[in-house]
Amino acid sequence: SEMCIRDSYIFSIKCVSMKKISFLVLILGLYCVTVKSQQRFDTTFTPHIVEPLFDESFAPVICIDSAHNNLHILGGGFSPFARLMKANGFQVRDMNSFVSNREVLLGCDIYAIINPLHESNLGNWRLPNPSSFTTQEIIEINNWVNEGGSLFLVADHMPFGGAAYDLAHSFGFEFSNGFARLKKEGSQPDYFSVQNERLVDHRILAGEIQSVTTFTGSAFTYPEEAEIILSFKKGDISLEPEIAWQFEYTTKTIDLENYAQGALMNYGKGKLAVFGEAAMFTARNITNKNGTFKVGFNSQLAPNNQHFAVRLMRYLVE
């Protein structure tokens, strides 16, 4: 079978046999192209100031991880996130060191880990997907959060869920390491709203945010004490292939009842925000022969994502 190259929500089907097209369209809503699309973060993205700025004496620091082969880092795929946060009063720093001890995170109010990857999976998105973090790092990060730090952990679709699994599991979360999708017709992004009961009421919504849009990620189970924000329902599914974007009729499928794609939790004196999708927190342009398509903050299909991201970071430092 041919590898299906992710081409987010672009309507071109050329690389699969006819008998597989119906499976991909109806079950996953993903499409394949023969030529790989160019995906770049949007350098023209203009952030919105969506909340009153912090007092001048307090500018929280978000440290964005770049030490674990991360797909999204401060100087690359997560630069639109950084620009949004700076516009809303945060400081943003690169964190390019392993967490060999808690002192590494001194000065960080939020430690943001976005799509880590084990070195064995660089250019090789097939199983197995080992942990990006050593046992010692996991202990140190746990202790840092327990003593008052805030962890923002995002692990997208396979293989990133596998790479983050051990760290998330140490807090009671378990990533599915698959490709999660809401039950719906067509190939639109996943729309979590108050109306469809997948966006769960929480004070970070401030009574104003009625929907949040995600763009193909993973799912996870969560401990009882977690507060769910993005909730899956019965009939939503995750496909879990052995090779990323390569799906067969025999690909393992799980129903996502009692799974989530976003959750918050207090942990000792600190907090966690765990999410299963990264594009929702940045802005990208995807270009192929059909044109350029916007994914994330810059998408018309995600009008509330900027506000949601800022409210989320403010919650982590309250």
Q: What is the pLDDT of residue 40?
A: 82
User: What DSSP string runs through 71-91?
Assistant: SS-TTTTTHHHHHHHHHTT-E
Give the residue-averaged pLDDT of 27-33.
Answer: 41
Backbone angles phi, psi at 110, to 5 degrees: -130, 130
Q: Residue 156: which of 56, 41, 281 has the closest Cα?
A: 281
Task: Give the span between the Cα atoms of 98 and 168, in whole angstroms.
Answer: 17
Question: Which positions ≥6 away from 193 have C-beta within 8 Å?
Answer: 199, 210, 211, 212
| Beta carbons of 276 and 261 less than 8 angstroms apart | yes
| Each residue's pLDDT tens digit, 256-307 | 999 999 999 999 999 999 999 999 999 998 877 777 789 999 999 999 999 9
**Predicted confidence band of residue 37 (pLDDT cuts 50, 70, 90):** low
* Number of Cβ within a 10 Å radius of residue 25: 17
Q: What is the pLDDT of residue 33?
A: 34
**Mean pLDDT, the chain, integer:** 88
Tokens (6 digits) for 281: 């927190």
Give the residue-averaged pLDDT of 190-203.
Answer: 96
User: What DSSP string runs through 131-197?
Assistant: -SS-HHHHHHHHHHHHTT-EEEEE--TTTHHHHHHHHHHTTT-EE--SEEE-S-SSSPPEEEETTTT
Global confidence as pTM: 0.90
Q: Which residue has the higher pLDDT, 143 or 248?
A: 143
Q: What is the pLDDT of residue 187?
A: 75
The verdict on whether omega for the bond into residue 159 sits within 30 degrees of 0, i.e. cis, is yes
Q: What is the pLDDT of residue 58?
A: 84
Q: Residue 78: which of 132, 36, 42, 119 has the closest Cα?
A: 42
For residues 268-300, one letter each, b for 16 or more C-beta atoms within 10 angstroms of the residue's C-beta and e for the rest, the string is eebbbbbbbbbbbbbbbbbebeeeebbbbbbbe
Lowest mean pLDDT among 142-146, 249-253, 289-293: 289-293
H or E segment to which residue 312 belongs: helix 305-317
Task: Give the span between the Cα atoms of 96 and 146, in whole angstroms.
Answer: 22
Q: What is the pLDDT of residue 44?
A: 87
Q: What is the pLDDT of residue 304?
A: 97
Where do the DSSP E strands lie in the chain? 38-41, 61-65, 91-95, 110-114, 150-154, 174-175, 179-181, 190-193, 211-214, 220-221, 227-231, 237-240, 252-255, 260-267, 270-275, 283-288, 291-296
Q: What is the pLDDT of residue 3?
A: 35
Task: Give the span between the Cα atoms of 300 and 12, in whole angstroms.
Answer: 21
Residue 144, pLDDT > 70, answer yes
| Beta carbons of 105 and 222 less than 8 angstroms apart | no
Give the residue-averaged pLDDT of 227-249.
Answer: 95
Question: Which positions ≥6 away from 49 have C-beta within 8 Å?
Answer: 87, 88
Q: What is the pLDDT of residue 109?
A: 98
Give the residue-averaged pLDDT of 226-231.
Answer: 98
| Each residue's pLDDT tens digit, 75-128 | 989 999 999 999 999 999 999 999 999 999 999 999 999 999 999 999 999 999
Q: What is the pLDDT of residue 38?
A: 63
Residue 199, pLDDT > 80, answer yes
